[in-house]
Amino acid sequence: MANLFKVLVVDDEPGMRSGIARILNDSTITLPEMKTDVCFSVTEAESAEHGLELIESQKPDILLLDHKLPGMSGLELLVKLTEKKIDILTVMMTAYASLETAVEATKNGAYDFLAKPFSPAELKHLMRKASSRILYKRQAQSLAEEKKKLRFEFISVLAHELKSPLAAIQGYLNIIRDRVSGEDIGHYDAVIDRSLIRLEGMKKLIFDLLDMTRIESEQRKRDLTDVNLNHAVKKSVDAFALSAKEHNISVHFDVPEDLTIKADVLELDIMINNLVSNAIKYNRPGGKVDISVAEQGPYIVIKVCDTGIGMKEEEQKKLFKDFVRIRNEQTRNIVGSGLGLSTVNKLVQLYDGKISVHSEFSKGSCFTVELLKNSHQKTKDESESSADKIMAKTE
């Protein structure tokens, strides 16, 4: 899809204006790095005063501005635009290509400089640079806006998720206070249990949230070392031994003794812990959890399978997003924050890996995580092509 940029030429020489219009109106510039074509529609003005009017009424994308004009000069127009906070990519043109004018113009917000006389090739070269600058800037802006919107959505869902257990507990406490079921405290066992479950869920949400902020926070340095996977899995299985025993679930793992991965210990722990605790939580009493880790080409493949409640196909699709919880008869009393798997998913990306699930309703689920064995140290933003990076690239 081609982008049409509006170009305004401000020059008191009619020949210069029509020459530029002729060259640009007929040309299409291909920007392979942006995977797009650019073409131009040119408007002309013979003075800075008329130019300013057109800028305000037509909002052109690019301004080709002569330095020496009758009346208001090019530099004065630049200053006016800055005062009026009008954002337009400006290229100064002048026959007196002196260093001082160039410096002065750039100081006042001009993007680049074109020395007269110039060839059509020089003009096109500059327009190519200017166009890709504009497109990069737009892309960066929409990315930043998208990020802001996602943050806002996250916070509003989070507020809801924190409020709903409080409302439930409040309701239960009112029932107890009003002695709705009589004076015998035994009548309130179910009410108290349910309150505790909701409290536990809220606590879990806060812990998961802390995990997530720790990963996403800029402060934390990732520390990639060789981590023994057998030890990592054993550590996790031990951590959940008690809750496995409570639900009478047997946990087996099969991990070669000396298998390692270059990973950040905290990140690896969060991934394994989430998968193992899910396999126990969403299991049935007397069920099984099987964990296996193996090397496959450049990848480490971690597989965690349970004999639990499983999922329907439409439920599986939503699974790795923030705050998604599968709600049904079976999950009603299971504590979860809806952040666990989405956090795992985010971490997996840092290892150039992927996460997938194979599940059969009421039979069980198998989660597979593939991580690059030797992923290189990278910063947080590297995988999400941040706005700053795009901006830096254009310089």
Partner 1 sequence: MKKKILIVDDDTDFIGQLEILLSNAEYDIDKAYSKAEAEKYLDNNNKPDLAIVDLMMENTDSGFALCYHIKKKYNNLPVIMVTAVTNETGFQFDAATPEDKAWIKADAFLAKPIRFEQLKREMNRLLGN
What residue ranges bind partner 1 (CB under 8 A)? 160, 164, 167-168, 170-172, 175, 180-181, 190-191, 194, 198, 327, 329, 332
Q: State in angstroms the smallest separation of the CB of 343 from partner 1.
A: 25
Q: State in angstroms the smallest separation of the CB of 175 from partner 1.
A: 6
Give the nearer residue to partner 1 in terms of CB position, either 180 or 265: 180
Give the nearer residue to partner 1 in terms of CB position, either 170 or 349: 170
- Residue 44: what residue type? E
Q: State in angstroms the smallest separation of the CB of 47 from partner 1.
A: 54
> What strands lie across the sheet with 36-45, from one edge to the other?
28-31, 36-45, 2-10, 62-66, 89-94, 112-115
Alpha-carbon Rg for the chain, nearest whole angstrom, is: 31
Query: What six digits make up the tokens of 391?
Result: 């901006």
Nearest of 196, 214, 198, 216 to residue 162 by alpha carbon: 198
Give the nearer residue to partner 1 in terms of CB position, either 22 or 327: 327
Q: State in angstroms the smallest separation of the CB of 336 from partner 1.
A: 14
Q: State in angstroms the smallest separation of the CB of 180 from partner 1.
A: 6
Q: State in angstroms the smallest separation of the CB of 296 from partner 1.
A: 40
2: helix, strand or coil: strand
CB atoms within 10 A of CB 140: 20
Give the nearer residue to partner 1 in terms of CB position, either 36 or 316: 316
Query: What six digits make up the tokens of 104?
Result: 């002065």
CA 85 to chain centre: 30
Give the nearer residue to partner 1 in terms of CB position, either 287 or 338: 338
Q: State in angstroms the smallest separation of the CB of 171 from partner 1.
A: 4
Q: Are 198 and 168 in contact (CB under 8 A)?
A: yes
C-alpha 175/C-alpha 288 separation (Å) is 39
Give the nearer residue to partner 1 in terms of CB position, either 79 or 168: 168
Q: State in angstroms the smallest separation of the CB of 197 from partner 1.
A: 9
Give the nearer residue to partner 1 in terms of CB position, either 67 or 198: 198
Give the nearer residue to partner 1 in terms of CB position, either 5 or 282: 282
Q: State in angstroms the smallest separation of the CB of 345 from partner 1.
A: 25
String of DSSP letters for 135-192: HHHHHHHHHHHHHHHHHHHHHHHHHHHHHHHHHHHHHHHHHHHTTTT-S-GGGGHHHH
Give the nearer residue to partner 1 in terms of CB position, either 159 or 265: 159
State how beta strands 260-264 and 250-254 pair: unpaired
> What strands lie across the sheet with 250-254, from one edge to the other?
250-254, 288-296, 299-306, 364-372, 354-360
Q: Are 10 and 70 in contact (CB under 8 A)?
A: no
Nearest of 252, 307, 310, 253 to residue 285 by alpha carbon: 307
